[in-house]
Amino acid sequence: MTQQKTHNKAAVKADAILVINCGSSSVKFSLIRPLSGETLLSGLAECLLSSAAEITIKHHGKKQSYKLTAPFNHQAALAVLVEQLQQSNLVKDISAIGHRVVHGGEQYSEPTLLNPQVEQAIGELAKLAPLHNPANLNGIKACQQAFADLPQVAVFDTAFHQSMPEKAYIYGLPYSLYKEHGIRRYGFHGTSHYFVAKQAAKYLNKPLEQCNLISAHLGNGCSVAVIKNGESVDTSMGMTPGEGVLMGTRCGDIDAGIIFHLVDNLGYSINEVDKLVNKESGLLGVSGLSNDCRTLEDAMLTDNNAQAKLAMTVFCYRIAKSIASYSASLTQLDGLIFTGGIGENSTWVRTEIVKQLGLLNFSLDEEKNQATRFGASGNIADKNSRSCWVIATNEEWVIAEQSAQLLANAAK
Ligand code: ADP
């Protein structure tokens, strides 16, 4: 209780949130003013747990990198971050830490103040997100050491999709697997889909609760979501981020029979199959060249590389099919949103996807398409088309906003 009171006072006094996104060998961080979205400082620690570990911090437009010292871990990275925040006189501005947590299961549909029970639940949910939740928890523990006086909030990547109806989240498996083991569709990238939907509502000049949208988040991981009256009602990722469309290195939907064939007849171990479908497939697997959209565009457009063209074509067709399938969830559609590194930048991908969506009355204005890249946002649709926006996502801002909101409500 005493600790809660201290936290509330801190929230009222200071006005920036430190947003932390921890991976197994990386930490992304941004210090953000929740009301304006202004980023005061940001950066990335990479190659953690190896001697190549380093941290890069961007402040006042200048980037500076520092080599980390042993044990090269998340704590070592945060120690450098704290030192830099102190030197820049920014520590006093921080009112809370907002953590991106990948899997919140069915328990968490809202941002949540971290405490030992919530941390335990995040740990238990690691069975559904073995790559992500332990890394998130590691970041939470490191921040508790580095910022012992500050409240810590978890914002879950699955939370926005908790509004999905049963018909969208139940697999065609025995129901007992859902009831007893939580095997259902959860969806991810929720914070990003929510942010771009909110931005689209501003373009439409109506409340989000009145908007019907399809959003395609295309980065290294890719997912499509359908938003009805402001709420997610279906999305392409499932119990794990592996389901759905083709991605950088993940295969997305495949016939489950392929896995049995690989194991029973082709000598794969289950770990090898895991690596194959998550790390060696998708754009990388089909092209045999790269998971990076820029490399594949270059290879296909400059060198006429047929394999790169095939990978990009399959990628776009699968996304177009996924978007079209969501007409089953809606009776009205205000528009389509592209976001994520590929969605925000690749004019080729946007053209290729939208040209397959004529039946839904989408077509692009190529001039606007070419002009809307590298952080620019706007409607790239032809004048006869339904709206089609490119919207630069900002998950960090949502995490900062939701953390600040939670603490403000708690202080009331
Ligand atoms: P993550 O899911 O890791 O956050 P990003 O959202 O940053 O990934 O997206 C990474 C993808 O965006 C890569 O495939 C990269 O090639 C692609 N990308 C970035 N810039 C461009 C560009 N100018 N043209 C085409 N693709 C781009």
- Ligand 1 center–CA 344 separation, angstroms: 8
215 and 356 together in one domain: yes
Q: Whose CA is nearest to atom 21 of ligand 1?
A: 345
- Distances in Å between the alpha carbon of 313 and those of 61, 187, 254, 309, 352? 38, 24, 17, 6, 8
295 and 363 together in one domain: yes
147 and 212 together in one domain: no
Residue 375 belongs to a domain: yes
What are the tokens at 209? 């609760």
Cβ-in-10-Å burial (0-12, 13-18, 19+) of 350 comes to buried
Pocket test for ligand 1, best of 25, 293, 312, 350 (most atoms within 8 A of CB): 293
- Helical spans, DSSP H, in 88-125: 116-124
Cβ-in-10-Å burial (0-12, 13-18, 19+) of 349 comes to buried
214 and 137 together in one domain: no
- Ligand 1 center–CA 272 separation, angstroms: 27
258 and 149 together in one domain: no
Q: Which of 147, 130, 149, 194 is nearest to 29 (CA)?
A: 147
> Ligand 1: residues whose CB is within 6 Å?
219-221, 248, 292-294, 297, 340-342, 345-346
* Tens digit of each residue's pLDDT (9 = 90 or more) over 155-170: 999 999 999 999 999 9
Residue 163 belongs to a domain: no
Which atom of ligand 1 is nearest the CA belonging to 293?
16
CATH number of the domain within which 125 lies: 3.30.420.40
149 and 236 together in one domain: no
Sequence-distant (6+) residues with CB within 8 A of 99 are 19, 20, 21, 22, 114, 136, 139, 140, 143, 152, 153, 154, 155, 399
349 and 217 together in one domain: yes
Q: Whose CA is nearest to atom 27 of ligand 1?
A: 342
Radius of gyration of the chain (CA): 22
- Contact 29/19 with Cβ under 8 angstroms? yes
Cα–Cα distance, 378 to 365 (Å, whole number): 12
Residue 217 belongs to a domain: yes
| Catalytic position from the list 15, 93, 149, 157 | 157
254 and 126 together in one domain: no
151 and 252 together in one domain: no
263 and 117 together in one domain: no
pLDDT at residue 252 in the model: 98
pLDDT at residue 355 in the model: 98
Pocket test for ligand 1, best of 346, 352, 390 (most atoms within 8 A of CB): 346
Residue 253 belongs to a domain: yes
- Ligand 1 center–CA 340 separation, angstroms: 7
Residue 2 belongs to a domain: no
270 and 383 together in one domain: yes
Q: Which of 351, 344, 332 is nearest to 390 (CA)?
A: 344
Residue 177 belongs to a domain: no
- Helical spans, DSSP H, in 183-338: 190-204, 256-264, 270-279, 282-287, 293-301, 306-325
pTM > 0.85: yes or no = yes
Which atom of ligand 1 is nearest the CA belonging to 217?
6
- Ligand 1 center–CA 249 separation, angstroms: 13
Identify each DSSP E strand in 60-106 by its residue range: 62-67, 94-101
What are the tokens at 332? 């009205």
- Ligand 1 center–CA 119 separation, angstroms: 32
Q: How many domains does the chain have?
A: 2
- Ligand 1 center–CA 250 separation, angstroms: 15
What residues in the chain have per-residue pLDDT under 50? 1-13
- Ligand 1 center–CA 339 separation, angstroms: 10
Pocket test for ligand 1, best of 215, 220, 396 (most atoms within 8 A of CB): 220
Say which amino acid occupies 89: N
pLDDT at residue 14 in the model: 60
22 and 103 together in one domain: yes
Cα–Cα distance, 129 to 123 (Å, whole number): 10
Q: Whose CA is nearest to atom 22 of ligand 1?
A: 345
Sequence-distant (6+) residues with CB within 8 A of 239 are 128, 171, 183, 184, 185, 186
What are the tokens at 249? 């290195």
Residue 346 belongs to a domain: yes
Which atom of ligand 1 is nearest the CA belonging to 393?
6
**Domain encompassing residue 100:** 8-156
Maximum alpha-carbon separation in the chain: 66
Sheet holding 213-218, edge to edge: 231-235, 222-228, 213-218, 335-339, 387-390, 378-379
Residue 367 belongs to a domain: yes
Whether 157 is catalytic: yes
Which atom of ligand 1 is nearest the CA belonging to 297?
25
Q: What are phi and psi of 80, to 5 degrees?
A: -65, -40
Which atom of ligand 1 is nearest the CA belonging to 373?
23
Cα–Cα distance, 126 to 123 (Å, whole number): 5
Domain stop point among 124, 156, 188: 156
